[in-house]
Amino acid sequence: MNSRFQIPDSRGQASRKRHDAIGLLAAVLLVFFFLLPGCSNSSFEPSPSPTHPIANERVTFPVRIVSLAPSITEILFDLDLGDRIAGVTRFCDYPPEARGKTPVGGYFDINFEAVLGLEPDLIILLEEHREARERLGALGIRTIAVNHARVQGILDSITTIARACGVGNRGDELRAGIEKKIHRIQDGFAAASPRPRVSPPEDSPPRVLVAVGRTLQEGSGGEIYVSGRDGFYDDLIRLAGGQNAYGDQTLKFPALSAEGLARLDPDIIIEMVPGVSPGEDREKLLAYWRKMPGLRAAKEDRVYILSGDEVVVPGPRFVNVLEGMAKILKAGRGKGE
């Protein structure tokens, strides 16, 4: 697993730095397990922007901000607030300018001394940072917690962060642009409506399995982590026109054996691999799936790889991941006609 990512990826072949990979995978899985479930809809309906209280006194907006997640850092830069960022986690390396900011630790090993040394007037963190928020609040530092476990939470956080930083109009524009692209992706998918090759009825969405990490390698035992019903990828599957092949609502990222995957019998499999190369590495991954016994999607060439840092960071670039998934679902439906 690449240490910067907010969504687990336990692949051993990725070429990026691997220190603390195993510990971070366990921590991220634990975080997503405890996050409260949200709603998920097959069509996208933007909700009203969250309200922001207006004081009778003059408002002073923050000029020294600390971000405690890569997804938050991306939003701040998209809002043209990079010059106000004083500190970030060691996992924040997108956009490249983020690497020049002072590191203040990781998700669960925040260096509070480093944070205080930056004299921040605002710290933006995730809802799962409960303990850190309490500690920072006790020190008199203003904090804002946002929810990036679901698509709607990401959109709402753009508005919340923008208004808190005095750039509400920029936030509205960024959010509207993302929502417009979601609608455009959905409209294109609906217009194509190719005949499904797979066994469900023609009007039934394809059953999609999203794999986000693995502990098994070829020729050995192990498991593959997949997206459950309560999470970011479940939203993307539905927005792209599919349904989650994993039906239980027990874990955000359940671990399945090869036999368990075959029992699910998904129509389409999408594996999220941030560090894969377009050539040999990708072919090795596909070959691995093809060797799994009883996996119809692999036998019928409906296993796909999505790569790039954004596939495991639930920030504003999620819309690019959605677009890739919609194209995959269209291609997967049309095969074999």
CA 168 to chain centre: 24
Least confident interval from 22-36, 92-106, 282-296: 22-36
pLDDT in tens, 209-263: 999 988 755 544 578 899 988 889 999 999 999 999 998 766 778 888 888 899 9
CA 219 to chain centre: 30
> Which domains, ranges and CATH numbers included, belong to the chain?
65-165 (3.40.50.1980), 198-334 (3.40.50.1980)
pLDDT at position 150 over 50:
yes
pLDDT in tens, 170-181: 999 999 999 999
pLDDT at position 294 over 70:
yes
pLDDT in tens, 31-50: 333 333 333 444 555 544 44
Mean pLDDT, rounded, for 272-297: 84
Alpha-helical segments (H) within the chain: 21-34, 70-78, 112-117, 130-138, 151-164, 168-192, 232-239, 258-264, 280-290, 296-299, 318-334
Residues near 190 by beta carbon (within 8 Å), at least 6 away in sequence: 241
Question: How confident is the model at residue 193, as a pLDDT?
Answer: 46
Mean pLDDT, rounded, for 129-144: 93
Question: How confident is the model at residue 194, as a pLDDT?
Answer: 45
> 160, 260, 162, 166: which is closest to 209 by C-alpha?
260
Question: How confident is the model at residue 203, as a pLDDT?
Answer: 61
Question: How confident is the model at residue 40, as a pLDDT?
Answer: 40
Helices 318-334 and 232-239 sit at what angle, rounded to 10 degrees?
50
pTM reported for the whole predicted model: 0.80
Mean pLDDT, rounded, for 150-177: 97
Mean pLDDT, rounded, for 137-161: 95
Question: How confident is the model at residue 258, as a pLDDT?
Answer: 85
Q: Say if CB 167 and CB 80 are below 8 A apart.
A: yes
Query: What burial letters (b/e) apply to 226-261, b meaning 16+ CB within 10 Å?
Result: bbbbbbbbbbbbbbbbbbbbbeeeebbbbbbebeeb
Mean pLDDT, rounded, for 296-309: 93
Q: What is the DSSP letter of 84?
A: G
Contacts of 248-252 with CB under 8 Å at 24 or more apart are 249/37, 251/33, 252/29, 252/32, 252/33, 252/35, 252/149, 252/227, 252/228
